[in-house]
Every structure is written in C-alpha cells, then in structure tokens.
C-alpha cells in the first residue's frame, strides 16, 4: 500500500513539473511576438527616406521598415519588405510609444482590418491612419498603384486612388512625437482576432539584428539596406538603400552605454531632435484626415 502511494505521489510531482515547464515555455515571448515588453529611455531615430522595391508578385503585402532594439546593438533598422500575406488579412505595423519616461514597443499583427499604429507615417499606404495601399476583394488582393510599386505585367489586380502624403518622419507616438490616439473604430479593430508576425517576418528581424550595417550607431540613421524585395534578402538588385536619414541623428543615443544610463537632459534632447515642426504637425493632421476618408471609402466599397 505504501509503495503504491509513493508511486502515485511521484507520478503527481512529475506531472506538475511537466506542466510547469510547459506553462513557462508557453508564456515566454515567442519569436512571433516581436518586441513585447521592450522599453528604452532613448527615442528611436527618425524613419529614413527610401523607395519601395517592386512587388514580387500577386499576394504579397508590404510591411514597412522600423527601428528595433536589443541591449547589445541598441537600435537597428529592420528593412521594409514584401511578405506573402495570409488571405483576407492586413498588417498593422508595430510602433514605439513614449509614456512614463520610456519608449515602449507595441508589436504589429495581422487582422481583418488595420488598427492603431501610433499615427506614424510609414508611407506606402501606411500614412498614420488605416491603410490606403490596397484591399482584399474576395480571395485576391488589389493594389493601389498610386502608392504601391507594382508591375502590371506580373500583377493585374490594380486600381489607382490618390493619397495625400507628407514628409513627417517621426518614429514614435507620444509627447515630443506624434500625439495621436486610437479612434473608437481602431479600438474595435484591436479586439478582433489577430495573428502574430509570420515566421518569415521574425526571421527577417533576427537577420537584421546580426547585420552591423543596420545598427543605428553604424549607419547614423541612413541604412544601406532600407528595404528588400523579400524577407531576409539583404543582397541583390531588389535591395534599396536609404536616400537620406529622416532627421537629425544623435550618435550618443545609439551607443549602448548611453542608452542604459542616459540622464534626463539627454532624453529631452533626443525628443527635441525628433519633435516635428508646426507645418509638419499640420501636414500629419491632414494626412490622418485623408487616410480616414480613404478607409471609410473602402468600407463603403466593401458593402456595395
């Protein structure tokens, strides 16, 4: 009887250990959860200026480039790239938000609609609100040639709708950056079923983190690999170089030691460097209004 009880106790303890390991493994951030929990005391550099490589073919959706972070390299650029999209889903880009004295990363996701991404103007259809680069019609994606670089020989599902843009390159949301807030519709979109970044996207980011040319401390806000034709494709004719940095670059802010112990005065300087001018703020507001109008027009077209 005692031996049987010992076996039962041993089996119970073993099952608890297995369950604990499983829970820890499940709760740990997966590779698809880009940047969850990351917070930094220095603002990310402005978004660089670059052209969009041509779309590889039907079914690809543009995912804009962004500044990512790790403790060893500081900020590094993850090139914009074309990704084979899950049918019927759109990409909501991730964004940096400033609150409580730190800049936190909000990961992007796939969903039936584009939600809030900080009001950041990533360009190529992502003007700060919604997405004007294309739309799903049935099982096919139709591209807006006014903002997307597509070859009509390879991609025949196209239309043209003018989108008003601006030259704002601020890369974060909050005081000193883009002070946008989610609309009621965007909040509703955030509660829809979502899908995390695809393996191709996480591998693309991981590859970028190992390329010294993409470190902000090396490229000074102007990466030589600003955009690529496909994820992880860092060499070849479909690689696009940044034509310019998006704003003043603070070299000291890119250094690891400064990021870990920067005093408040350097945080203020970094925010001032990224602060948009009054004309840029007005342009951003106009762009947001235009993007909202485009989103509403798309919704009306969907219900016809």
Say what the pLDDT of residue 34 is: 41
At 89, the pLDDT band (50, 70, 90 cuts) reads very high
For residue 63, give every residue at least 6 positions away whose Cβ sits within 8 Å of its Cβ, in sequence order, or none.
80, 81, 82, 83, 91, 93, 108, 201
- Span 159-185, average pLDDT: 90
pLDDT higher than threshold 90 for residue 299: no
Q: What percent of the chain has pLDDT over 90?
A: 62
Q: What is the pLDDT of residues 66-88, one digit of tens each?
A: 999 988 889 999 999 999 999 99
What pLDDT sits at residue 163?
85
The reported pLDDT for the residue numbered 277 is 42
CB-based contacts of 109-112 (< 8 A; 24+ apart in sequence)? 109/194, 109/195, 109/196, 109/197, 110/85, 110/86, 110/194, 110/195, 110/196, 110/197, 110/198, 111/189, 111/192, 111/193, 111/194, 111/195, 112/88, 112/189, 112/192, 112/193
pLDDT at 76: 97
pLDDT band at 193 (very low <50, low <70, confident <90, very high): very high
């Amino acid at each position: 009887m005692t031996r049987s009880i010992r076996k039962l106790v041993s089996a119970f303890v073993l099952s608890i250990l297995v369950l604990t390991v499983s829970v820890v493994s499940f709760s740990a951030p997966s590779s698809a959860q880009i940047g969850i929990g990351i917070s930094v005391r220095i603002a990310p550099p402005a978004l660089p200026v670059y052209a969009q490589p041509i779309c590889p073919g039907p079914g690809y959706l543009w995912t804009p480039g962004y500044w990512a972070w790790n403790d060893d390299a500081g900020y590094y650029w993850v090139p914009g790239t074309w990704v084979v999209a899950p049918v019927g889903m759109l990409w909501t880009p991730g964004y940096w938000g400033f609150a409580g004295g730190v800049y936190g990363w909000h990961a992007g996701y796939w969903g039936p609609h584009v939600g809030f991404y900080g009001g950041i103007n990533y360009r190529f259809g992502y003007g700060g609100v919604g997405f004007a680069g294309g739309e799903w019609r049935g099982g096919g994606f139709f591209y807006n040639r006014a903002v997307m670089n597509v070859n009509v020989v390879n991609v025949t599902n196209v239309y043209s709708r003018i989108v008003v843009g601006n030259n704002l390159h601020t890369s974060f949301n909050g005081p000193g950056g883009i002070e946008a807030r989610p609309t009621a519709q965007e909040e509703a979109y955030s509660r829809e079923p979502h899908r995390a970044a695809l393996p191709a996207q996480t591998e693309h980011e991981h590859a970028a983190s190992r390329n010294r040319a993409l470190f902000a401390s090396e490229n000074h806000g102007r990466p030589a690999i600003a955009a690529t034709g496909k994820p992880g494709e860092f060499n070849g004719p479909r690689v696009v170089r940044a034509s310019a940095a998006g704003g003043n670059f603070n070299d000291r802010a890119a250094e690891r030691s400064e990021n870990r112990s920067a005093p408040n005065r350097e945080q203020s300087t970094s925010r001032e460097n990224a602060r948009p001018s009054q004309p840029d703020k007005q342009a951003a507001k106009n762009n947001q209004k235009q993007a909202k109008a485009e989103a509403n027009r798309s919704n009306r077209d969907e219900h016809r």
